[in-house]
Chain A
Amino acid sequence: MINTYIYFITFVTIITALIFLIGVKKRDTIIMVFGSYLVMCGCFEIISQLTYKGDYNIPAFHLYNLLEFIFLSIFFLLVFEKLKDWFFLIILLSVIFIYYIVFVQTIFTYITFLKNISDAIFIFASIASLFKFLDSEFKKENVQIIKYFIYGILINFCGAFCIYLFVQFTLNYPKNIIYSIWYVNITLKLIAQGFYIYALLKLIQKDRVVYE
Chain B
Amino acid sequence: MNESEIIIFVFVSIGIMVALVVSLVIFFNFSQKKIIAQKERNHLLKMNFQKEMLESTINTQEAERSRIARELHDDISSKLNIINVNVDFIKLKIDDQGLQSSISSISSALKESLERSRKISHELMPPILEKFGLEDAINDLMNQINLFGVLKMNIIGSEHFKNIVDQKKLHIFRIIQELINNTIKHAEATNIKIEAFLEKEILEINYSDDGKGIVSTKNSIGIGTMNIESRVQILNASWENIPQETGIKYKFKIPYA
Please report A residues at the B interface, Cβ cutoff 8 Å: 127, 130, 133-134, 136, 147, 151, 154-155, 158-159, 161-163, 165-166, 169-170, 173, 177, 180-181, 184, 188
Take A169-B6, A170-B7 as given contacts and tell me if A162 and B28 are in contact as well, using a CB distance cutoff of 8 Å. Answer: no
Minimum C-beta distance from A11 to chain B (A): 23
CB distance from A85 to the nearest CB of B (A): 26
Q: Can you show 29 pairs from A to B with CB atoms below 8 A apart?
A: A130-B24, A134-B28, A134-B31, A134-B32, A134-B35, A136-B39, A147-B28, A151-B21, A154-B21, A154-B24, A154-B25, A155-B18, A158-B20, A162-B10, A162-B17, A165-B13, A166-B6, A166-B9, A166-B10, A170-B7, A173-B3, A177-B3, A177-B7, A180-B7, A181-B7, A181-B11, A184-B11, A184-B14, A188-B14
Task: Fill in one digit per residue for B40-68: 1 if any A CB lies within 8 Å of its CB, else 0.
Answer: 00000000000000000000000000000
Minimum distance in angstroms from B68 CB to a CB of chain A: 46
Shortest CB-to-CB span from A79 to chain B, Å, is: 14
Do A162 and B7 touch (CB < 8 A)? no
Alpha-carbon gap, A91 to B25, bound state (A): 31
Chain A at the B interface: mostly helix, strand, loop or mixed? Answer: helix
Interface of B is mostly: helix
Q: Which 4 A-B pairs have the closest CB atoms?
A: A158-B17, A162-B13, A162-B14, A154-B21
Are B14 and A163 neighbours in the complex by a CB distance under 8 Å? yes
Report chain A residues within 8 Å CB of B17.
158-159, 161-162
Contact A163/B10 with A136-B35, A151-B25 known, Cβ cut-off 8 Å = yes
Given contacts A155-B21, A158-B18, A162-B14, contact A130 B35 (CB under 8 A): no
Residues of B within 8 A of A180 (CB): 7
User: Which residue on chain B has the smallest CB distance to residue A154?
Assistant: B21
Chain B residues, CB < 8 A from A166: 6, 9-10
Which residues of B sit under 8 angstroms from A147, Cβ to Cβ? 28, 32
How many Å lie between the Cα of A61 and that of B32 in the bound state?
37
Contact across chains for A173 and B7 when beta carbons are under 8 A apart: yes
A162-B10, A166-B6 known; A188-B18 Cβ under 8 A: yes
A91–B207 CA distance with the chains assembled, in angstroms: 64
Residues of B close to A134: CB separation below 8 A: 28, 31-32, 35
CB <8 Å contact, B28 and A158: no
Complexed CA–CA distance, A127 and B24 (Å): 8
Cβ contacts B183-199/A at 8 Å (1 or 0 each): 00000000000000000
Q: Can you name the residue of chain B whose Cβ is closest to the Cβ of A161?
A: B17
Distance in angstroms from A130 CB to nearest chain B CB is 5
Distance to closest chain A CB from B46 (angstroms)? 14
Q: How far is the CA of A155 from the CA of B21 in the complex (A)?
A: 7
Contact residues in B for A136 (Cβ distance below 8 Å): 35, 39
Q: Which of B13, B18, B21, B35 lies at the interface centre, i.e. has the most chain A CB atoms within 10 A of its CB? A: B21
